[in-house]
Structure 1
């Protein structure tokens, strides 16, 4: 901010081609231009991106190591602007801690190793993951390779015109397809969420802390798991995520009495124990299975109406075959 004020004082910022003092109110189609030297640009680029200078060996090796660590990531679609991968369970989409290794680092490592980007290009644009999946949720992860790709993916994710479908197996026998809605509250300290039919009333309640959510599901299969002399009814679902909030699918299905198998936060510990003993499932069995793109104009118009599918993991297949 201090830099910008300094630039205003030095008359290096113009509004519609005329010198500005920063007190103007902007209107539609106004154009702001900022003039500064190459030296100043490089200073800011290196400070914020840490990629173009020779001093940043540690940062670059982080990308390289991430790519080597996750070399078997399945790329299911790629063009000049975006990359879609089938993320395995157990890998973070983005860092939660500075020492984490996530798909973000893998992405840059992959693009650097294949020559699709250079160290210098990282000073002006850094490719990144566009959507988030929980660490133990597998499936389609959208990554941007270009600024155009990042902007368009952000747009269709925000306006919800990109349809995201998940596959999962839940406890209990479900009899009909349905759409469910409610309000979600996130407990940051416990990293869990609570669901409500409507926003609760109270002196300390802030409406802004509650997000409206909607989830639809369609029944794919119904079956029975027999283990430890017990018969457990299970249902396989395809879930359409209308809104994308933390743990939405997991908490929403649990709230109607049909938790996902393997889910330690919102699930049934007894059933999870039986499934884990036989199949080795240690996390929620939830897979981002399919993307359906809307009509898109411009440079990414080739994605219009395209459907992308990510095969379910082998463990999912194993459980699915046994039960259904």
Structure 2
């Protein structure tokens, strides 16, 4: 038998989701059977798999101890470097400037160094993340960007902040602006591009078309020309829909691939720039809440900007 008290970071979850995350040795079939047979009770009473948990609730589980055995307390995130570029931090969130070359999450090959591992290592050393005291929550990233794209990434320190920010991202109550260098000069100095994006998982790339095909998703990309240097243009991008590789593929589809982009550009163009990867940076974040934001209401109308855009110095050295 085991009893556990639900903490703030576990509140709001469905009972079955909480148990699946907290006790990975507990098979799904056994979990559902135990709830039906009242071997799992909430506050001493029968409960349903869809019951939402509240802080202070007590779960009592009349199950074998083997289902509650935890892995040894060896945390892979402690192998990650502590280096972070922090634009803003408080008790709820971190706003970070991720540099190109760093993955945000471990990939299928698994690397001990990732942005989320660095965040968890940092918060662990500060005493703000104690995994041994958490049942199901770990600090998490709210948004992600490609490995070789730099820019602003948000991390939530608690479950309530994560829930709110995920909702705001879904409802597009955050504005994210990008800077990029494209090959060529744009015919229009400002425009909104529209099209359809189809993802090819096996190739890890996307394709853009003007007409929707089965499985394709509509996309809208607004750009504004900030400066021109020779055969290159510096653009500010407002991503009106957030799809995989949208900026890179959409601009390439109209004949203006990003400088340095090995996937959607050409080697001939890229060799001329000398850039090691695509010149793309998520450089500005603005909170534009149109609905209540709970404990994060104080962030409304605030704006954060990354100052060190690695490719701007190169761009300004090119002939005008």
- Alignment-derived partner of residue 320 in structure 1: 315
Which of residues 6, 30, 34 is equivalent to 1:6? 34
Give, in whole Å, the separation in 2 of the partners of 1:12 and 1:322: 67
**Superposition RMSD on alpha carbons, in Å?**
2.8
Q: Compute the displacement of 1:136 (Å).
A: 0.2
- Alignment-derived partner of residue 79 in structure 2: 65
- Evaluate the alpha carbon distance shift between residue 212 and residue 42 of structure 1 in structure 2; reply closer, same or farther with a 3 A threshold: farther
- 5+ unaligned residues in a row in structure 1: which ranges? 201-206, 225-232
- Alignment-derived partner of residue 181 in structure 2: 169
Which of residues 283, 286, 307 is equivalent to 2:280? 286
Residue 212, structure 1, aligned to residue 224, structure 2: no
- Alignment-derived partner of residue 142 in structure 2: 130
- Evaluate the alpha carbon distance shift between residue 123 and residue 321 of structure 1 in structure 2; reply closer, same or farther with a 3 A threshold: same
- Evaluate the alpha carbon distance shift between residue 266 and residue 120 of structure 1 in structure 2; reply closer, same or farther with a 3 A threshold: same
**CA contact under 8 A between 1:149 and 1:300: conserved in structure 2?**
yes
Give, in whole Å, the separation in 2 of the partners of 1:297 and 1:269: 46
Question: Deviation digits for residues 109-145 of structure 1, max 9, x if unmatched?
Answer: 0100111122323433101111110000001011111
Helix, strand or coil: the match of 2:207? strand
Helix, strand or coil: the match of 2:103? coil
TM-score of the superposition, structure 1-length normalised? 0.80
- Alignment-derived partner of residue 158 in structure 1: 170
**CA contact under 8 A between 2:35 and 2:48: conserved in structure 1?**
no
- Evaluate the alpha carbon distance shift between residue 240 and residue 31 of structure 1 in structure 2; reply closer, same or farther with a 3 A threshold: closer
Residue 179, structure 1, aligned to residue 192, structure 2: yes
**CA contact under 8 A between 1:66 and 1:109: conserved in structure 2?**
yes
- Alignment-derived partner of residue 73 in structure 2: 56
Helix, strand or coil: the match of 2:283? strand
- Evaluate the alpha carbon distance shift between residue 147 and residue 11 of structure 1 in structure 2; reply closer, same or farther with a 3 A threshold: same
**CA contact under 8 A between 1:11 and 1:20: conserved in structure 2?**
no
- Evaluate the alpha carbon distance shift between residue 194 and residue 80 of structure 1 in structure 2; reply closer, same or farther with a 3 A threshold: same
- 5+ unaligned residues in a row in structure 2: which ranges? 1-27
Q: Compute the displacement of 1:4 (Å).
A: 2.1
- Alignment-derived partner of residue 275 in structure 1: 273
Helix, strand or coil: the match of 2:94? strand
Q: Compute the displacement of 1:18 (Å).
A: 7.3
Mean Cα deviation higher: 38-47 or 161-170 = 38-47
Helix, strand or coil: the match of 2:203? coil
Q: Compute the displacement of 1:161 (Å).
A: 1.6
Describe how 1:1-324 pairs up with structure 2 within 5 A. Answer: 1-2=28-29, 3-10=31-38, 12=40, 19=46, 36-37=59-60, 55-57=72-74, 60=75, 62-68=76-82, 71=83, 73-97=84-108, 99-100=110-111, 101-174=113-186, 175-200=188-213, 207=214, 209-224=215-230, 233-276=231-274, 281-295=275-289, 296-313=292-309, 315-323=310-318
- Alignment-derived partner of residue 229 in structure 1: none
**CA contact under 8 A between 1:12 and 1:35: conserved in structure 2?**
no
- Evaluate the alpha carbon distance shift between residue 219 and residue 11 of structure 1 in structure 2; reply closer, same or farther with a 3 A threshold: same
Question: Deviation digits for residues 33-73 of structure 1, max 9, x if unmatched?
Answer: 996337979977865xx5xxxx132xx2x2122134xx2x2
Helix, strand or coil: the match of 2:59? coil
Give, in whole Å, the separation in 2 of the partners of 1:45 and 1:293: 41
